[in-house]
């Protein structure tokens, strides 16, 4: 089993699996380009079957397991939606930098 965090293409051997993790505010689209896949989502009582040239978009956060029934090729595309996608790199960077309460003072300490 593999853990995927970015857009990707992959080929899975028959009877192997791949785990995708969708973050809040993120849509994940899975397109089967060859073979057959089962898409299993946590909390969803029904599974989805994908054959070559079929796709499925997962609109909410969660874990998605893909199981290759036969040798299968796939493409995973991630898309941020709503406010989470419009904040851009500054929001991402702010998570890693210490916050400054007084703002920029123009002097170095």
Total count of residues recorded for the chain: 109
Q: Is residue 40 part of a domain?
A: yes
Give pTM, 2 decimals: 0.66
Residues 6+ apart with CB under 8 A from 108: none
Number of domains in the chain: 1
Return the pLDDT at 103: 53
27: nearest Cα among 82, 94, 101: 82
Degrees (nearest 5) of the Cα angle 94, 87, 108?
30
What is the share, in percent, of the chain residues with pLDDT greater than 90?
39
CATH number at residue 42: 2.60.120.10
What integer is the mean pLDDT of 39-59? Answer: 89
Residue 109 maps to a domain: no
Would you say residue 37 lies in a domain? yes
* Residue among 22, 5, 41, 13 at smallest CA distance from 84: 22
Range of the domain at 62: 3-93
């Amino acid at each position: 089993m593999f853990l995927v965090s970015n857009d990707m293409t992959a080929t899975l051997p028959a009877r192997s699996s791949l785990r995708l993790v969708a973050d809040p505010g993120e849509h994940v689209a899975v397109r089967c380009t060859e073979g057959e896949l089962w898409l299993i989502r946590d909390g969803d009582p029904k599974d989805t079957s994908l054959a070559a040239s079929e796709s499925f978009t997962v609109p909410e956060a969660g874990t998605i397991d893909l199981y290759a029934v036969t040798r299968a090729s796939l493409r995973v595309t991630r898309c941020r939606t709503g406010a989470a996608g419009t904040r851009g790199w500054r929001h991402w960077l702010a998570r890693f930098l210490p916050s400054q309460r007084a703002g920029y003072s123009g002097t170095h300490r």
